[in-house]
Amino acid sequence: MGIAKGIRLRMGKTSKVYLVIMAGGGGTRFWPWSREKRPKQILPILSDRPMIWETVERVRPFAPAEKIFIVTASFQAKELHRQVPQIPPGNILMEPQGKNTAPCLCLAALHIQQRNSEAIMAVLPADHFIPDRKLFLQTLKGAAEFAAKQNFLVTLGIQPTEPETGYGYIQKGEILGQAAGLQVFRAKAFREKPSRARALHYLHRGDYLWNSGMFVWKVGVFLEALERFLPSLYREMLRFKASLGTPRANLVLKNIYERIQPVSVDYGIMEKAPNVALMQVKFLWNDVGSWAALTQIWPKDEAGNVLPGGKQVTRGKVLVIDSSGCLVRAEEKLIAIIGLKDMIVVESGNAFLVCPKERSQDVRRVLQELNDKGWKEYL
């Protein structure tokens, strides 16, 4: 497709690289635009195409469609397939329920191992903003080469530019080498989303990178780590492996997912494994994790207001009086604001959200309350 024009990565048809795109996220962060059945990854947030489509096209020069897997929730699979018809239906892997990233990636690894036991597996979230595709692909290629040569679990880290409290952080250890002109360190420590004070501390120390949630490893190295650090999950999933390709596979997986505990790959494996490498990447990146993040991505007017136009145009209208630093998205109605500063005002479907930009992470509390109240029609 047009996106990849001019990018030549020479991975070749015999490449061992397989991509896994994790698209299991619920529709919480961009509520009310995103909903349970309309998760962020299928929204046209960054262009007039769904984010998942952007993500797939971004990596197409790196791997042919048949080597791209997408893991998603069963109930989202049909809609997802509609959004990325270029991916073979058999490559859309369905989780019976969300159990965080470790089971998700185990499922993907077993599928990939079946195709090629020597495979390099690159893991990407479905919904990130990475405008420099060429640099991104060069980086990914470097990481794949590094992973191919050594038995490391490679994770991509981003140089922090501000004391962001919405990201995890990884501390750099000793240098392990170079790949694609980038330094690769041993990962010394993984830190969950920090307080603001702690985030400032990480930023000033300079030896912490943001955890991008992107990983590259040999499928065998990853499964070994799983066996070692999450043995019960691994044992359960071996039953699924045995069923793969049989009519029982879905039922076996459903049964397993009812029993296993949710666990993230960061907490379950990366924080514990000794062979974790941290590649310090240079491309601009944003996890598009909240409405506030869009105020950094979508264009602003002179007053610093983000009033989606262009590809985001809807039937809705916006009228702004004496306001600055706001993001206002009207889908159907007119939204008039007077005297607002740094506010998020969003209309979508049957709901409206108003909150200060700095509170946009708390949208999840709205979802919790809606759940508690049983107001399902707004979820």
Contacts with a second copy by CB under 8 A lie at 32, 317, 319, 321-322, 330, 332-340, 343, 345, 347, 350-356, 358-359, 362-363, 365-366, 369-370, 373, 375, 378
| Angle CA 133–161–204, to nearest 5 | 145
The nearest distance, CB 319 to a second copy, in angstroms, is 6
The nearest distance, CB 304 to a second copy, in angstroms, is 17
The nearest distance, CB 340 to a second copy, in angstroms, is 6
The nearest distance, CB 194 to a second copy, in angstroms, is 21
**Would you say 252 and 262 are in contact if contact means Cβ atoms under 8 Å apart?**
no
Can you tell me whether residue 331 is helix, strand or coil? coil
Nearest to 295 by CA among 284, 283, 287, 304: 304
Nearer to a second copy, 160 or 349 (CB): 349
Nearer to a second copy, 244 or 370 (CB): 370
The nearest distance, CB 13 to a second copy, in angstroms, is 50
CA 294, 300, 303, 306 torsion-angle sign: negative
d(CA 76, CA 54): 18
**Would you say 65 and 44 are in contact if contact means Cβ atoms under 8 Å apart?**
no
Nearer to a second copy, 259 or 365 (CB): 365
Kind plus residue range of the DSSP H or E element containing 309: none
Which neighbouring-strand residues pair with 183? 178
Nearer to a second copy, 249 or 354 (CB): 354
Nearer to a second copy, 267 or 378 (CB): 378
Nearer to a second copy, 66 or 358 (CB): 358
The nearest distance, CB 342 to a second copy, in angstroms, is 11
Nearer to a second copy, 147 or 320 (CB): 320
Q: Which residue has the tokens 């499928």?
A: 219
342 φ, ψ (degrees, to nearest 5): 50, 50
DSSP 47-81: SSS-HHHHHHHHHTTTS-GGGEEEEEEHHHHHHHH
What CA–CA distances, in Å, run from 31 to 94, 341, 372? 23, 21, 16
The nearest distance, CB 341 to a second copy, in angstroms, is 9
